[in-house]
Each structure stands twice: as structure tokens, then as C-alpha cells.
Amino acid sequence: MIDPVLEAWQRSTAPRRFWLDGGGAREWSGRRSILGVLEHDDVSLTYSAARREVTRHASGSSEVVGDDVFEVLSRELELGGPRDQWFGYLGYACRPDLPARPSPDVPDGVPDAVWMRPSRVRLVEHAGPDSPPGWRNRRLSTEVPAGRRQFHHPGGETAAVPPDYRAAFDRVQERLHAGDTYEVNLTHRLEVASDLDPLAAYLRLRELNPAPYAGFLQHDVPGARAWLLSSSPERYATVSTGSTTGEGGSTTGEGGSTTGEGGRVLETKPIKGTTPRSEDPAEDDEHRRRLAQDEKYRAENLMIVDLLRHDVASVCEPGSVEVPQLMEVESYSSVHQLVSTVRGRLRADVGTVEALRALFPAGSMTGAPKLRTMEVIDEVEATPRGVYAGAFGWVSGDGRADLGVVIRSLVTAGDGRYVLGTGGGITVLSDPVEEHAEAMLKAVRLLEALGTDGDS
């Protein structure tokens, strides 16, 4: 039976609301959902990277209040005090000092960032060790030829790699062989037309693809309309406080961990390495074993861990950065993923939003080294990333925060067009057929949620 608090939230007609969904969470991320509905006079912020404008919305009016969303959010948290909480997302182009292409400045385009401060939030505890009753948590029926890592394309084993993807892949290989970069997270966007209501689409997505960073955000404000439907498995960052567990972790405010005694702890869990699930238990175990041992995936993961150790160290106390988990396999309904954990104790002079900015965008979504690789991405990707590859979650005035990476997600302006991003890490060992098939595998559940196979 649906929780009455969740049921009431679903019936709400408020134009601004969010649901950070803990129902499909991992043990490390907790099982509590946070629900919020903004009243007319509650405040929200949006950001346009193309115009370099942060806009404050409240009581039916909008006002430009700055040109850097990180700075404005930090200022709002300082003014609001330790009980202040903000919920929202940061799109890929939110750091203007980095070479990330902004989305086109068009009427009713999806903002590059949305943050909301509700007067009240409600909590829902989810039962069960795995997932809420009624969730199918189905696996995809996929096969991997014996002795190979190869993915089967969802459209068939012989599905051709699109020419534009092949061209981008070849340009990335040129940069890799020239020594400009060691790894590039090559992505692309798919646009799907659907008359499905965003909330209905999200309810289908959460059934098909339970995830620790699942969630729904609606900001239905003229000139700044955005719906984000997330089923992300990847932690962008948590900031926890104190010397005990139970503070910080996940979009639900649970889990997390600390290192050392006291202070704030910054933690990130990059994912690099994906293989499909199989309905045959023996074959599924073999897929899992191959992922753990695959040379390419281990090289990808290690490069991103090194990048994130540098990013984390830039804002943490010397000697506090550690890697408590290196290349462990986590299994989800459709894929196995290779996950590491990087953690450090924040310096006292570093604010929480400042720490989040130092990691942004996620190294797993750029490649290494970050700056030069982002320049390569801007050169080879056909479209701006928009919200995709950003971060989604919450930040609190008491110093805590928890955000996931915006992957396995749908974005819409409420106009019947949904955009999703997908991709993967490219190294000199990569094969274009396998890489494109992996990217499409990651998109399957999103397309299923919209009732399409991606051909529309």
C-alpha cells in the first residue's frame, strides 16, 4: 500500500516540488525518501549558463541575483542558518571557469541549475531489504559471447554504430594517441517524444530501475521550466559531520561515513566499468567476474580514482585522503558496475558548497586530466550536455550535503520532449562497437519508461 504522505505528495498540484527517492536504495545510501512542496512565497533559484544569470523566484516574481550559482547558493545557506536546506540540481555547465558548452538560450529552455528551499519537508521510511513491494527489479536478458566483454546492442547484435558516434570516437582516439588525454567520457544525447506525464514516467522508471540516487524534481515556472527524473546509481559527493555514521549519506539523509575524529568528511564514489546482467545465474556471475578483472575497466577506474584523489585533496586536510574501496562490483537490476570510494576530511576554511564546486563536474563524467579532457569533450560532442553529467540532491546549512551524478536520467521542459544522455569512458583500448552498445544498454530502462525503443 502506498504511504499516505507519498500519496498526498503525488496528488499535489503545486508547480514546484521534489521527491528524493530512497525506496530503491543501497545499504550504503539508506531507505528514506524526502518529499517537498514549495509554497507560493518559498524561494527557488535557477541558473542560465548561456546568460550567466542566477534568478531568484518567490511570490510570483523573479529577480536576477548573481552570475555564479555556487556563490549564490552558498550565500543563501549562510543567511538561512544551520536549519536551512536546499534541494535541486547542478547541470554540467554550471562552472563558467571550465570549458563546458552551455545549453542554447531559448525560451522555455531547461535551466542549467534549479535549487528549491521548501518551508517544510516530509519523510517516508521504505520497508524491505531490497526494494518496495511490487517493484519488479527486472534484469535485462542480455548475453555476452564466451571469453569476451562485448555488449549486445539493444537493437540487435549487428546494429550499426551511427556515423556521428564513430566520427566522435575516432577524434577521441586521435587525442588519446597524441597524449592530450588519458581517458575521455564520450557521451551523446537522445531526444524522445512522449505524451506521458513526467510524474507517470518517473513512477514507471522507479519500478524498472531502482537506484540509490533516484528522484523527481519539478520546477514549473514560466521561463524556467524543468522536470528531472533520476534513477542514478552513482554518488557525486556527500559531506557528513561528526565522528559517527548516520549523518550525510545518500539523497535520503542516511548512511555515509566519516574518517578520523570530528570534522566534516567529503566522500565520492565514482563508477567506471559496466557490464550487463544475465537471467542465468552462472552466466551472471561470470559477467560480474569479468568486470572485476577486465583490463580496460580497471584502467579507466584507476585513472578516475587518481583524478578524484587530487580533487578531494585540494579541499581536504593533508594526509586525510583515503581510498577505502577500490574497484568493487555493485550489481543493479540491469548492469554490474565497478565502483570505488575516495574520502577525505575537509579543511576548516572550506565551505560545503565550495567543496562541491571543487569536484564539479564529476571526474567519472569527464575523464583525465579534467581540464584538457573537458576541452576535448567540447570539441567532439555534437550537443551540450545540459543537466546530464551534473549533480542532483540536497545541501544543508549545517554543513552536510548529499548529491548523486545525473546519469540514467530523463529531462524535460514539459513540452512532450524528453532528453536523456548516455555514454562511457574511452581509452586507447576501446572498441567503438562495444562502447556504443554499452552506452545504449545504459539508456534501455529510460526508453522503456517512456514506452519506446529509442527509434522515435
pLDDT above 60 (res 410): yes
- Compute the radius of gyration of the chain from its Cα atoms: 20
Kindly report, residue by residue over 285-301, the tens digit of the pLDDT: 999 999 999 888 898 99
User: Is the full-model pTM beyond 0.85?
Assistant: yes
User: Which pLDDT score is estimated for 115?
Assistant: 98
φ and ψ of 288, to 5 deg: -65, -45
Residue 432, C-alpha cell as written in the block: 567503438
User: Which pLDDT score is estimated for 453?
Assistant: 61
Name the active-site residue from 272, 296, 370, 442.
272
Question: What is the residue-averaged pLDDT of the chain?
Answer: 87
451 CB neighbour count, 10 Å cutoff: 13
User: Which pLDDT score is estimated for 155?
Assistant: 41
User: Which pLDDT score is estimated for 158?
Assistant: 42
- Please give the Cα distance from 25 to 23 (Å, whole number): 6
User: Which pLDDT score is estimated for 231?
Assistant: 95
Contacts 24+ apart (CB under 8 A), 154-162: 154/437, 154/440, 154/441, 154/444, 154/453, 154/454, 155/440, 155/453, 155/454, 155/455, 159/437, 161/432, 161/433, 161/436, 162/436
Closest-CA residue to 112 (of 96, 95, 90, 97): 90
Determine whether 272 is an active site residue. yes
Q: Which of 3-17, 145-159, 417-431 has the lowest mean pLDDT?
A: 145-159
User: Which pLDDT score is estimated for 334?
Assistant: 78
pLDDT, mean of residues 337-360: 96
User: Which pLDDT score is estimated for 242?
Assistant: 66
Contacts 24+ apart (CB under 8 A), 306-310: 306/368, 307/363, 307/368, 307/369, 307/370, 308/268, 308/270, 308/342, 308/359, 308/363, 309/342
> Using an 8 Å Cβ cutoff, are 367 and 185 in contact?
yes
pLDDT above 50 (res 138): no
At what angle are helices 295-313 and 352-359 packed, to 10 degrees? 140
Q: How large a percentage of the chain has pLDDT more than 90?
A: 72
User: Which pLDDT score is estimated for 147?
Assistant: 32
User: Which pLDDT score is estimated for 52?
Assistant: 97
User: Which pLDDT score is estimated for 262?
Assistant: 60
Confidence of residue 201 (pLDDT cuts 50, 70, 90): very high
Choice between 384 and 281, residue whose per-residue pLDDT is larger? 384
User: Which pLDDT score is estimated for 247?
Assistant: 36
User: Which pLDDT score is estimated for 353?
Assistant: 98
Confidence of residue 197 (pLDDT cuts 50, 70, 90): very high
User: Which pLDDT score is estimated for 275?
Assistant: 87
User: Which pLDDT score is estimated for 278?
Assistant: 85
Name the active-site residue from 76, 234, 254, 435.
234
Confidence of residue 387 (pLDDT cuts 50, 70, 90): very high
Determine whether 234 is an active site residue. yes
User: Which pLDDT score is estimated for 32?
Assistant: 87
User: Which pLDDT score is estimated for 70?
Assistant: 98
> Using an 8 Å Cβ cutoff, are 84 and 393 in contact?
no
Residue 420, C-alpha cell as written in the block: 536523456
- Please give the Cα distance from 217 to 198 (Å, whole number): 10
Residues near 361 by Cβ (< 8 Å), separated by ≥ 6?
92, 95, 98, 100, 374, 389, 390, 391
User: Which pLDDT score is estimated for 153?
Assistant: 39
Element (H, E) at 441: helix 432-449
User: Which pLDDT score is estimated for 25?
Assistant: 66
CATH class of 4-131+157-449: alpha beta
Confidence of residue 157 (pLDDT cuts 50, 70, 90): very low
DSSP state string for 254-291: ------SSSSEEEEEE-EEEEEE--SSHHHHHHHHHHH
pLDDT, mean of residues 115-139: 66
Half-sphere exposure of residue 382, counting CA atoms within 13 Å on the CB side? 13
- Please give the Cα distance from 400 to 449 (Å, whole number): 33
Kindly report, residue by residue over 39-96, the tens digit of the pLDDT: 999 999 999 999 999 999 999 999 999 999 999 999 999 999 999 999 999 999 999 9
Residue 182 DSSP label: S
Q: Which residues pair with 226 in a beta bridge?
A: 219
Kindly report, residue by residue over 208-261, the tens digit of the pLDDT: 988 999 999 999 999 999 999 999 999 999 999 864 333 333 444 444 444 445
pLDDT above 80 (res 134): no
Domain ranges of the chain: 4-131+157-449
Residue with cell 575516432: 170
What's the helix, strand, coil split of the chain in %, to 5? 25, 30, 45
> Using an 8 Å Cβ cutoff, are 18 and 216 in contact?
yes
pLDDT above 60 (res 204): yes
